[in-house]
Each structure stands twice: as structure tokens, then as C-alpha cells.
Amino acid sequence: MKKMLIAVTAVAALTGVACSSDDGGGNSPSGAATGANGATCTADNAVDLTGDDPFTITIKDFAYDPDCFAAASASAITITNEDAVTHTFTIDGTPVDVTVPAGETFNGESAGLAPGTYQVHCTIHPSIKGTVIVS
């Protein structure tokens, strides 16, 4: 099960179980999104994964780690699900929608997303949210 994934550039923080906004998702021209914890995910506070290829996101304890991050559009991605249940890594407004079964790891190619700020969530567990800043 291989789907094209993203090469994300982040200047926010994305993994963990909730650093995203409920602004309808998608590409945000402002470059910032308010997380579930009330913090705003920006290029200034995002975990910088732009130099990692692939960059890695971990799902653990029903959260993305990091949940606010920056990634390069051309980078590949690795998503590791350490929980005992299946999760998804879905980027709003894009074709990126990856299912990662419990205890498994997904390795994907770049989805070539346009630069911008995107909301990420688990379609199975809506409380799992994040923000990725793609460059």
C-alpha cells in the first residue's frame, strides 16, 4: 500500500496529537495555524525537518510527533505508528491520505506539495491533528 506522500517543509510543529487548527484546513496564506493546545504553529516554532530526507513523523499515544513541523516539498516521508490501533496521516486539501496500521511504518515519496501551511489529521481519530509548513 503505497501512496504518494509529501515532501513537506515545516516551520511549525506537527507531530503529537494535536497542533493544528480547525480553520477548514488547506493551504494557508498567513503561514500560521492555531493548534489544539492554543499555540500558533509558525515557521518560528515549528520543528525544522527541512534537511531530513526522508523526514520522520511518529504516531504515539494518539498524537503526531512532531505535531508542528516544517518540511521540504521534495523530501520523502516515513510515518511510524507506535499505537495499538490504525491511524491515518491526511493532509487537508491534498491527495495525501495514508493509512498506517498499528505497529507499522509507512515509507513514501514526495507528493510535491506547493509551498504553504497545511493542516494534518487522522480521519479515524479526529483529535489527532497537526500542522506542516512546506517549503
CB 115 within 8 A of CB 9: yes
Q: In total, how many domains does the chain have? A: 1
pLDDT for the residue numbered 25: 40
pLDDT for the residue numbered 7: 32
pLDDT for the residue numbered 111: 87
Domain that holds residue 78: 14-134
Mind listing the pLDDT tens digit for each residue in 115-127? Answer: 999 999 999 999 9
pTM of the predicted protein model:
0.74
Q: How many CB atoms lie within 10 A of CB 105?
A: 13
In a domain, 125, yes or no: yes
In a domain, 9, yes or no: no
Query: Chain-centre distance of CA 92, in angstroms?
Result: 10
pLDDT for the residue numbered 79: 97
pLDDT for the residue numbered 37: 57
CATH number of 38's domain: 2.60.40.420
Mind listing the pLDDT tens digit for each residue in 84-102? Answer: 999 999 999 999 999 999 9
Q: How many CB atoms lie within 10 A of CB 127?
A: 11
pLDDT for the residue numbered 23: 37
**Bridge partners, 132 (sequence order):** 69, 118
Burial (0-12, 13-18, 19+ Cβ within 10 Å), 93:
middle
In a domain, 100, yes or no: yes
Question: If you average pLDDT over residues 110-117, what whole number do you get?
Answer: 93
d(C-alpha 62, C-alpha 45), whole Å? 22
In a domain, 8, yes or no: no
In a domain, 3, yes or no: no
Mind listing the pLDDT tens digit for each residue in 16-60? Answer: 333 333 333 444 434 455 554 557 899 999 999 999 999 999 999
Query: Chain-centre distance of CA 44, in angstroms?
Result: 17
In a domain, 5, yes or no: no
**The cell 488547506 sits on which residue?**
26
Question: If you average pLDDT over residues 105-122, what whole number do you get?
Answer: 95
